[in-house]
Amino acid sequence: MKLATLRNGRPDGRLVVVSRDLQQAVPADAITPHLLQALADWPDAAPRLAQLSDRLNAGQVPDATPFVPADCMAPLPRCFQWCDGSAFLNHGRLMERAFGTAPIPQFDTVPVMYQGAADDFLGPCEDVPLPDEALGIDFEGEFGVIVGPVPMGVTPAAALGAVRLLVQLNDWSLRALGPREMQSGFGFLQAKPSTSFAPVAVTPDELGPHWQDGRVHLELEVHWNGEAFGHPHGAEMNFHFGELIAHAARTRRLSAGTLIGSGTVSNAGRAVGSTCIAERRVIEMLEQGAPRTGFMRFGDRVRMRARMAPGDQAPFGVIDQRVVQAAPVAEVADRTARP
Amino acid sequence: MKLATLRNGRPDGRLVVVSRDLQQAVPADAITPHLLQALADWPDAAPRLAQLSDRLNAGQVPDATPFVPADCMAPLPRCFQWCDGSAFLNHGRLMERAFGTAPIPQFDTVPVMYQGAADDFLGPCEDVPLPDEALGIDFEGEFGVIVGPVPMGVTPAAALGAVRLLVQLNDWSLRALGPREMQSGFGFLQAKPSTSFAPVAVTPDELGPHWQDGRVHLELEVHWNGEAFGHPHGAEMNFHFGELIAHAARTRRLSAGTLIGSGTVSNAGRAVGSTCIAERRVIEMLEQGAPRTGFMRFGDRVRMRARMAPGDQAPFGVIDQRVVQAAPVAEVADRTARP
């Protein structure tokens, strides 16, 4: 099944079930108010949501309405934990050169992962407010999984059984702030503003053979201001999602609704391009002696979608966002007064 | 007012108002189900909670019952964001020597802060399950603040106005895992298991003159297995809480209920001791050539409380916990099946 969250003035939004072709939606309020609650009650809620999904896909829900991604929040607008790995080692190796940082110990054998902010995710078509172009505004295309409860010390194989939903996301990054935060050893904080999500979260079965070995076997296609930027494949992920979940759970249990990210999708073959600007810049540096591509400017748009044959469907829908200058503080203060 | 959360089988627990002397408690369910909800509805909920608190302190609540810290969860059992600073620079300077890490850029002028896991906090008397003594089990005594909504780009002075509650916490740390996570640049994750909290969160007015300049002007007293370990003073915090909040909000807004920590309370004067073992070990190394104190063993207890004259009151109550070996995975799996 496919799930999305519509804005309703509340921080968790209103859960809807979306048809497989992303054309129709039907409210799921009668089953559970929002996705965070559904994840807490998954054994009870999931079968009922699946039943509604089956009826919707069979054309048996008379009150279904058109699905409008512009009305969407992130499918999970906030949660209690967001851990982002860096499981495409090609990306990590390039970023080491970009930042000029020391090699990461045990890079090939132990995943690296940072703890992200989970309190305020952005929807697929929402503007992305940031304070200053000089911070080096960059996108990072990723896949992610949302899990049920995970015990401390889980094995990678068992961890895969905790996967409830798959998502596609943009891990917004501010490159001018990254190196200092890495050098401090405390990790990313200001360098990682609110993360954005494609409109629908999907159960693994929706991807058929494209969910395999704990990886999303799909290309992630990125356009920047309408120009093709890259379309690397998710199959090249060096650590699978079970390994990432087990890494996060080594010294603590994870509660239902925890989100785990793949890190920037990146392939060794350079012909497929990149899903972040920093990677292209370091490749330019290596191949041409200096970076030629700048970071994003206010007004720029980025569009991301996974591609699934046949018919070139986007199983998670499309992220299509514009970067804008954040409002002055007084004005922002009103926006944060959540109803 | 003083607030605590009693276990009720739900992840957010049941909110109670506690008397100033921590002797009596009264359920606050009629006002708001739990503290996370109270923080979301603060302008409405706070005055009503304060009224109940006034009546309780005046002895006018007939159905008040004895307050039992052993029945408590963390005052805020989970939230959507937990950012921990390291605002006592004496601690940071000692830890650089302990870990042998490179000096942090702009250490004196820009706070360092890591993003912590907020999904599963521990109560003041709960056992602390950890997988292996060899991971270097250590405590870190800290103060923290819980804020209302904070706009992106807030100033340090304005940020202080967003402080709703003060807390006292133990930022459990696994020292064998810290150096690799710092060297990766991605920051602490496995090195920071679930954080523990003293039983009550208090509004700033409860501390009177001891909440001043955005700092908790109290000693934090630590006992390890019954022996005095340290009692450094909160006034020596180099960055105040407004500066820490503003740091966290530089590139994103913070939602209501975000928790911001001070980092390990630490004083330059060595006579007052430490609030973590790692600090004592590096001082032993500097003064005696080698660390002499080991880390915690399973079965060890740590007790922490802030001290407030007169009468030597503990305004946040007392953390008194035992470290235990985590149960094998199968058994833990049942415990994580939250009702």
| Nearest CA among A234, A222, A195, A164 for reference residue A84 | A195
| Residue B187 pLDDT exceeds 50 | yes
B136 & B250 share domain: yes
- Res A334: pLDDT: 41
Task: Note which residues in 242-301 of chain A have CB less than 8 A from chain B.
Answer: 247-248, 250-258
CA atoms within 13 A on the CB side of B102: 14
Q: Give the lowest-confidence range in A126-135, A240-249, B72-81, B311-320.
A: B311-320
Residue A209 located in a structural domain:
yes
Residue length, chain B?
339
Question: What average pLDDT does the segment A74-90 reach?
Answer: 97
pLDDT digits 0-9 by tens, A93-122:
998 887 787 888 899 999 999 999 999 999
> Is residue B114 within 8 Å of residue B81, measured between CB atoms?
no
Question: Vertex B119, ends B205 and B25: CA angle to 5°?
Answer: 40
Percentage of chain A exceeding pLDDT 90: 90
- Res A336: pLDDT: 38
Contacts of A325 in chain B (CB under 8 A): none
Q: Tell me the pLDDT band of A328, cut-offs 50, 70 and 90.
A: confident
pLDDT digits 0-9 by tens, B298-326:
999 999 999 987 667 899 999 999 999 99
Do the bridges between strand B82-85 and strand B14-18 make them parallel or antiparallel, or are there none, so unpaired?
unpaired
Residue A153 and residue B131: Cβ atoms within 8 Å? yes
Give chain A's end-to-end CA distance (angstroms, integer).
Answer: 30
B212 & B102 share domain: yes
Task: Taking each helix axis as running N to C, give the angle between helix A89-99 and helix A277-288, from 0 to 180 degrees, rounded to the nearest 10.
Answer: 70
> Å from B20 to nearest chain A CA?
30
| Residue B96 pLDDT exceeds 90 | no
Contacts of B181 in chain A (CB under 8 A): 185, 187
Q: Give the range of the structural domain holding residue A289, as residue numbers without chain letter.
A: 82-332
| Residue B25 pLDDT exceeds 60 | yes
> Is residue A150 within 8 Å of residue A254, measured between CB atoms?
yes
Chain A CB within 8 Å of residue B134 CB: no
Backbone angles phi and psi of A82, in degrees to 5: -140, 110
Residue where a domain terminates, one of B42, B67, B92: B67
CA–CA gap between residue A298 and residue B118 (Å, rounded) = 32
- Res A311: pLDDT: 64
The model carries a pTM of: 0.96
CA–CA gap between residue A80 and residue A61 (Å, rounded) = 33
Question: What average pLDDT does the segment A3-8 reach?
Answer: 98
Residues linked to residue A260 through DSSP beta bridges, in sequence order: A83, A145
| Residue A245 pLDDT exceeds 90 | yes
Q: Is B59 exposed, middle or buried (0-12, 13-18, 19+ CB in 10 A)?
A: exposed
Residue A77 located in a structural domain:
no
Q: Tell me the pLDDT band of B253, cut-offs 50, 70 and 90.
A: very high
A49 & A114 share domain: no
CA–CA gap between residue A57 and residue B42 (Å, rounded) = 42
Contacts of B94 (CB under 8 A, 6+ apart): B266, B278, B279, B282, B283
Task: Note which residues in 75-94 of chain B have CB less than 8 A from chain A.
Answer: 78-81, 83, 86
Question: What average pLDDT does the segment B11-20 reach?
Answer: 98
| Residue A307 pLDDT exceeds 70 | yes
B280 & B137 share domain: yes
Residue B77 located in a structural domain:
no
Q: Give the lowest-confidence range in A78-92, A191-205, A303-317, B188-202.
A: A303-317
- Res B332: pLDDT: 42
B152 & B227 share domain: yes
Contacts of A214 (CB under 8 A, 6+ apart): A156, A160, A163, A240, A241, A242, A243
Provide the CATH number for the domain around residue B229: 3.90.850.10
Q: Give the lowest-confidence range in A200-209, A285-294, A302-311, B152-161.
A: A302-311
Residue A95 located in a structural domain:
yes
Residue A74 located in a structural domain:
no
Q: Tell me the pLDDT band of A330, cut-offs 50, 70 and 90.
A: low
- Res B311: pLDDT: 64
pLDDT digits 0-9 by tens, A10-62:
999 999 999 999 999 999 999 999 999 999 999 999 999 999 999 999 999 99
B58 & B156 share domain: no
CA B34, B319, B331, A247: dihedral to nearest 10 degrees? Answer: 90
| Nearest CA among B155, B159, B194, B158 for reference residue B174 | B194
Q: How many CB atoms lie within 10 A of CB A181?
A: 26
Residue A338 located in a structural domain:
no
Residue A339 located in a structural domain:
no
Exposure pattern of A104-127 as b/e (b: 16+ CB <10 Å)? beebeebbbbbbbbbbbbbbbbbe
- Res A95: pLDDT: 87
Q: Nearest by CB to A187, which of B110, B114, B328?
A: B114
Continuous segment of H or E residues that includes residue A2: strand A2-6
Contacts of B79 in chain A (CB under 8 A): 80, 119
Residue B75 located in a structural domain:
no
Residue where a domain terminates, one of B67, B98, B122: B67
B207 & B105 share domain: yes
B180 & B41 share domain: no
| Residue B59 pLDDT exceeds 90 | yes
- Res B104: pLDDT: 87
| Residue B337 pLDDT exceeds 50 | no
**What is the average pLDDT value for chain B, to the nearest integer?**
94
Residue where a domain terminates, one of A16, A40, A67: A67
> Is residue B97 within 8 Å of residue B285, measured between CB atoms?
yes
A8 & A38 share domain: yes
The tally of domains found in chain B comes to 2
B43 & B142 share domain: no
B143 & B275 share domain: yes
B58 & B88 share domain: no
